[in-house]
Structure 1
């Protein structure tokens, strides 16, 4: 049985499609959860978490063999810096991830009968909502969430990457104050949705800067733990 060789076009399509599907799952499940939870935010977050975990696992298993299933500019940049992704391909990966994230938000809105074009009014992080549990703690949370994600990506055995990444993100939804965006593309997509999972544009720069710092910290933690071969790990 012959197989069509994978091209850069295939990889870019997989990254864009996967990021679109991921953000559609995140935002769509948030909309559904908020409508059905009757004001119970803990229940809504739990439903949002479970949908995200399941979708992320499926997407990594399905698209990982095609593109690596990054769906995240921070992950792609780290892997390019480590020589695991050609630098010439990185701009394309980041572009389709960002476009896919916005498309995912619009797709979720269309399915739930909402206006396609909207901006989120949900302030997160910064000093403006410190009394509501925000403040610099959310920036710290995004740093921690992204550092942990990068550490998992770099050290997960290839056969367990989908389960480990999805499990980590599910846990980080709850143990971080920011609900673990850990992804600049996710920040962009959520900016375009005034829903449960949204983030106001004014809050986005702090999140992205924290994610960049977290990515660098994750690489440092990986190096600090010593040499590691995912293929031979127990």
Structure 2
């Protein structure tokens, strides 16, 4: 692995870890601060996640693009593979490994910060057609948003826009918008407010993959030549990090 790719993969690892730490940690804090109000718990969890995501995009975006999500990375590779503008196959593999391992590390970190065992399998079942449909919608919307911002030259709005979308999607989807296979896997390692039972993970991940395919179709209709901006997803990387591909 080249030094540049190692640097970008490490940013994806750290960014995804901190994102999951924010999701899980704010969920734990919410249940302790508002033990009798589930609605308030979800609001606290959503606000913390949205704000953290925006900050993490600002922090790691110039290094790796701040994908933090295998679906975003896979669509970036798929759209840009012929034009040479997106991730290469090698980049995609490195990003996905970094994102999944980062998510698991982030869940363990959050548990440890709140005095819990580092790893405890979640017992929260999240299964059913309505939840899977919600994950399709949440994932498709997220992917279309980030590529629309890149294609229209508005990547400077990505930290606020992506954070706002995820924060809102907590509320308008029945699944509370995981929209991310790495985050879904990581959240299986914590038996807390944000957890998901390991047996529920495959259904969520499958729905997220379908959401990615829906997004590719939508982008072809609404944003022709989206592949021209694949290098700028979620935000543009520094030229020295991309090797000026």
Taking structure 1 as the reference length, what is the TM-score of the superposition? 0.90
1:57-136 matches, within 5 Å, as 57-83=54-80, 84-126=86-128, 136=129
Per the alignment, residue 212 of structure 1 pairs with 209
User: What is the Cα-based RMSD across aligned positions, in Å?
Assistant: 1.5
Mapped pair 1:38 → 2:60: no
Distance (Å, rounded) in 1 between the aligned partners of 2:222 and 2:99: 30
Per the alignment, residue 194 of structure 1 pairs with 191
Mapped pair 1:11 → 2:13: no
Task: Please tell me whether the aligned partners of residues 148 and 223 of structure 2 are also in contact (alpha carbons under 8 angstroms).
Answer: no
**Runs of 5+ unmatched residues, structure 2:** 81-85, 233-245
Mapped pair 1:224 → 2:221: yes
By how many angstroms is 1:198 displaced? 0.3
Task: Please tell me whether the aligned partners of residues 126 and 200 of structure 2 are also in contact (alpha carbons under 8 angstroms).
Answer: yes
Structure 1 residues 211-230: Cα deviation after superposition (integer angstroms, max 9, x where no partner):
00001101111111143687
Structure 1 residues 3-53: Cα deviation after superposition (integer angstroms, max 9, x where no partner):
xxx711110110000000000000000000011112201000000000000
1:226 to 1:78, Cα distance in 2 relative to 1, 3 A: closer
Name segments (4+ residues, structure 1) moved above 2 Å: 226-231
**Runs of 5+ unmatched residues, structure 1:** 1-5, 127-135
Structure 1 residues 138-159: Cα deviation after superposition (integer angstroms, max 9, x where no partner):
0000000000001001101211
The SS at the match of 1:179 is: coil
Give the length in aligned residue pairs. 218
Mapped pair 1:155 → 2:148: yes
